[in-house]
Amino acid sequence: MDIQYPCVYENHNNEFVVTNNPPEYLKIFVRGSGFNLLGQALFLKRNPIYVSLLDLNNKVTELSTASLLDDISDQLGSNISVESVYPEIIKVHAERKYSKLVPVVVDEEFSFFPQIRLKSVLVANPPKVLVSGPKTSVDSIDEIHTTNLTDKIEGDVILRNIDLLTPSKSKLLTIKPTFVDLAVEVEQFTETSLVLPININNLPEELNLRTLPSLVTIKFLVSLQLYDVVTEKNFKAYVDYKEVNDQVNRLKVYVEQSNNLVEIIAVSPEKAEFLIKE
């Protein structure tokens, strides 16, 4: 009869990474009395057979299972003899391990308490992690992402032990460390508004276009630190003459800001009527 034993690979040479899937079980063909064989068949929990990978090289390492016969025989006892082991040879494919530092990208979808916003770009600590594995796999990795963060933030906080996502491109890659910390700095914002003149973009020199109304009101959130700094000079409101056609009687009002200091939450009106004179 045959008996299956779990196979555990130990003493792994850390200079190499195994790139194939060596067998997880060894099939042992045995001979003995019916009573002893029945006992083995009913005994489901078996100690694993340990296979050393200390002699790995950069090619294919062939390990003879004949060297494991003594260990297997000791487990089975003197009343059962081992006839053979399958497979006779365990082939282990390996490549020399390659490592490089890769930046961590923070994936976040934070929700904030009213009028609370991020103060600065989020940077993980550490900002880079060590990715190791076969060179071709490591070379294909340019960044490592955090798990998606969905915490609700109400003040400055340090988020600890944020898991990193192992790249799906290769199961042979390892990441150290497997988690990072994140310092989240926030600031208080307040709502305010400004009135801007509506400009005309792309208007031919021979034409005159006037919008109705000629002014637009924008509402925006601005940090308390910048409240007295932001003025009309930071914005430009405009309509685009290129959007004029026979089916359009109102033009969309666009608002640009020069340095992204605020979060615009409303533009009123969103569209303006217009008159054209030659």
Q: Give me 212's structure tokens.
A: 């109705």
φ, ψ of residue 14 in degrees (nearest 5): -70, -5
Domains: count for the chain: 3
Q: Domain containing 155 — which CATH number?
A: 2.170.120
Residue 251 and residue 199 share a domain: yes
Q: Is the dihedral of CA 208, 210, 214, 216 positive or negative?
A: negative
Cα→Cα distances 130→2, 40, 98, 167, 191, Å: 44, 46, 10, 13, 44
Residue 193 and residue 175 share a domain: no
Could you list the residue range(s) of the whole structural domain that residue 132 is in? 98-184
Q: What does the alpha-carbon distance between residue 156 and residue 118 come to, in Å, rounded to a whole number?
A: 9
Q: What does the alpha-carbon distance between residue 120 and residue 185 come to, in Å, rounded to a whole number?
A: 7
Last residue of one domain, picked from the residues 155, 184, 213 = 184
Q: Give me 9's structure tokens.
A: 């690979």
Predicted pLDDT at 45: 64
Chain-wide mean pLDDT for the chain?
84
Last residue of one domain, picked from the residues 118, 151, 184 = 184
Predicted pLDDT at 42: 47
Residue 111 and residue 173 share a domain: yes
Highest mean pLDDT among 49-53, 155-159, 235-239, 258-262: 235-239
| Bridge pairing between strands 152-153 and 111-112 | parallel
Whether the pTM exceeds 0.75: the reply is no
Residue 152 and residue 209 share a domain: no
Q: Domain containing 71 — which CATH number?
A: 2.170.120.30
Residue 131 and residue 206 share a domain: no
* Position with higher pLDDT, 69 vs 238: 238
Residue 270 and residue 201 share a domain: yes
* Confidence grade of residue 131 (pLDDT, cut at 50, 70, 90): very high
| Tokens 């079980």 belong to residue | 25
φ, ψ of residue 59 in degrees (nearest 5): -130, -125
Last residue of one domain, picked from the residues 78, 96, 114 = 96
Which residues, including other chains, have CB under 8 Å from residue 18's CB and lie 6 or more apart? Answer: 9, 12, 53, 56, 92, 93, 94, 172
φ, ψ of residue 115 in degrees (nearest 5): 60, 30
